[in-house]
Amino acid sequence: MFFHWLEKNPFFFAAAISIVISFAGLIEIVPNFAKAAKPLVGMEPRTVLELAGKNVYMKDNCQSCHSQMIRPFKSETDRYGDYSLSGEYAYDRPFLWGSKRTGPDLHRIGNYRSTDWHENHMLAPADIVPGSIMPAYKHQFTNIADIETAYAEAVTVKNAFHTPYGPEFKRTRAAWDAHRPKVLDDAKAIAADMKNKDVKEAVANGQVPEIVALIAYLNSLK
């Protein structure tokens, strides 16, 4: 009989015990988790410009001081807006929940801050918010964002995880050349709301300063 065999093989016996013990957990937790982790209906993956901005966000380590996770408590939803749902992070690789709020939560920042505010704030945070200890991020106005890597990232997650980027996202130079103008158009729309002349000039010359990508990303956090 089967259990005779099982009793003589301690490894498989231990494995069978684990399955039996965790059975209730498996059938209760795993399907629920899989359901909750699906993207929300109608949710679009981030554009290439926003992905580049997300990389700037990670590069400058914003997640060390800012969370992106509004918990379902009244005190939080009063200040930051609706509580976060797990499906909202479905396309975030990695997610940037963060675990420390030296600064405020940013998960819905796009709802209540605008391009020009971010521009003023990144140059001199304490001038805009008295008492703020956030450092200035002036280098973002001169550093150029890496939109090619962001495009490659989009193509990779499309191939590896079936993130719903369109059929035009392909692993070829020609596909990138065809997509690049769209990224620059997005950047121009952001730069149109900005005042910094160097940034406007860079965008007009086909370059995307980090601040433009970062603002595109922050505006997409809704």
Partner 1 sequence: MNALMIKALAFAAILMIATIWVVMSLDIDIVGDSVNAITMGGALAIAVITAAVSVKYINQMKTDTASGELAEESWDGIGEYKNELPSGWAYSFLAVFLWSMWYGFAGYPINTYSQIGEYNEEVLAYNTKFEVVHKDADNATLLEMGESIYLVQCSQCHGNAGDGLDGKAQDFTSRMSKEQVLEAINNGANTLGYPMGAMPAGMAKGADAEAIAVYVAGGMKGGQPAAFGACSSCHGLDGKGNGGMSPSLVEYDATLMKYTIQNGKKGSMGKMPAFKTLITPVQEKALTVYIQSLSN
Q: Tell me: does residue 112 bind partner 1 (CB under 8 A).
A: yes
CB closer to partner 1, 171 vs 222: 222
3 scored as a contact of partner 1 (CB under 8 A) = no
What is the pattern of x (binds partner 1, CB under 8 A) and - over residues 66-85?
Answer: ------xxx--xxx-xxx--
From 47, 55, 115, 140, residue interacting with partner 1 (rule: CB under 8 A) = 115
What are 94's two structure tokens?
């990695």
Which stretch of DSSP H or E encloses residue 174? helix 173-192
The partner residues of 144 in beta bridges, in order of sequence, read 209
Count of other CB atoms within 10 angstroms of residue 170: 16
Does residue 31 bind partner 1 (CB under 8 A)? no
Q: How many CA atoms within 13 Å lie on the side-chain side of 143?
A: 17
Token pair, residue 11, equals 């490894």
| Sign for the pseudo-dihedral over CA of 82, 87, 92, 96 | positive
Take residue 174 and report the two structure tokens written for it: 């020609």
Is position 188 an interface residue for partner 1 (rule: CB under 8 A)? no
**CB nearer to partner 1: pick between 145 and 194:** 194
Work out which of 44, 127, 148, 201 binds partner 1, going by CB under 8 A.
Answer: 127
Query: Cα separation of 216 and 150, whole Å?
Result: 13
The size of the interface with partner 1 (CB under 8 A), counted in residues, is: 22
Please list, in sequence order, all residues whose beta carbon lies within 8 angstroms of the beta carbon of residue 190, skipping any fewer than 6 positions away. Answer: 49, 115, 203, 212, 215, 216, 219
Residue 94: asked if its preceding bond is cis (omega within 30°), the reply is yes
**Residue 33 interacts with partner 1 (CB under 8 A)?**
no
Shortest Cβ 111–partner 1 spacing (Å): 6
130 part of the interface to partner 1, by CB under 8 A: yes
Which of 93, 113 has the CB closer to partner 1?
113
Residue 25 in contact with partner 1, rule: CB under 8 A: no
Contact call for residue 23 and partner 1 (CB under 8 A): no
Contacting positions for partner 1 (CB under 8 A): 72-74, 77-79, 81-83, 111-117, 120, 127-130, 193
